[in-house]
A and B are shown apart, each in its own frame.
Chain A
């Protein structure tokens, strides 16, 4: 079974609007972390935001927030006030337990329209 599922096809958003990128995960480990990374066309992997399984509140980092619904096993990324520079591929990922690898979803391409 896939650990991280990102099923949206390419997403489009108008500049200055908000957009939600979906991510669902599967784990039986009570200790896990959920991460979002951005990969622009230049290719580097940029860490955006983290949510821990024991965190009571949704994580926020500037224009990025994570809508964490533990019972539904979803960790959606919300980008507010989209900018042209937000056009990129976005990956959801998870680490489970200690000494663990980061397992990625297949990614979502976001295009911001002027």
Chain B
């Protein structure tokens, strides 16, 4: 029954590795997002997809590549992981084009790069 689910919940890996985080929503929303929460708890948007089309790409290193196979899924692949990538990554979804709709967040993936 989870509305926005992301896996894994924890990810510990070494520098230089490649990893992926998966996200799925069952709310029927058209728009999905990836946010990064840093060690100071600041939340910053990384990407947004609207019905599989990239609509927001916020100056994220191109080591980060989102992929949306369909509007219910938005995965995040990270190449050549760096120490500074350690953070909590949140997936979220909302109805399309609605400034009056909240984003529904997944429970987050805590990525630790050693």
Count how many chain B residues have C-beta atoms less than 8 Å from C-beta atoms of the other chain: 30
Which of under 10, 10 to 19, 20 to 34, or 35 or more describes the interface residues of A?
20 to 34
Query: Is A91 part of the contact surface with B, judged by Cβ < 8 Å?
Result: yes
The interface bits of chain A over 86-100 (1 if a CB of B lies within 8 angstroms of the residue's CB, else 0) are 000101000111111
Cα of A95 to Cα of B55 in the assembled complex, Å: 15
Q: Does A35 contact B (CB under 8 A)?
A: yes
Of B14-22, B77-85, B96-104, the stretch lying at the interface with chain A is B96-104
For B84-109 the 0/1 string (1 means CB < 8 A from A) is 00001010101011111111110110
Which stretch, A18-26, A66-74, A102-110, touches the partner chain B? A102-110
Contacts of A37 in B (CB 8 A): 105
Instruction: Report the Cα distance A91→B61, complex, angstroms.
Output: 26
Q: A52 contacts B42, CB within 8 Å?
A: no
Is B113 positioned at the interface, with any CB of A under 8 Å from its CB? no
Query: Using an 8 Å CB-CB cutoff, how does the interface string of A29-46 with B read, 1 for contact, 0 for none?
Result: 001110101010001110
Contact yes or no, A99 B50, CB < 8 A = yes
Smallest CB-CB separation from A103: which chain B residue? Answer: B45
Question: Is B41 a contact partner of A89 (Cβ separation < 8 A)?
Answer: yes
| The residue from B42, B97, B103 contacting A102, defined by CB atoms under 8 A apart | B103
Q: Are A43 and B88 in contact (CB under 8 A)?
A: yes
Residues on B with C-beta less than 8 A from A52 are 99-100
What are 16 A-B residue pairs whose CB atoms fall within 8 Å in the complex? A31-B99, A43-B107, A43-B108, A45-B105, A45-B108, A47-B102, A47-B104, A47-B105, A52-B100, A91-B43, A95-B99, A101-B33, A101-B45, A101-B58, A104-B44, A107-B41
Nearest 7 pairs of A and B residues by beta carbon: A45-B105, A98-B97, A95-B99, A104-B43, A47-B102, A101-B45, A33-B100
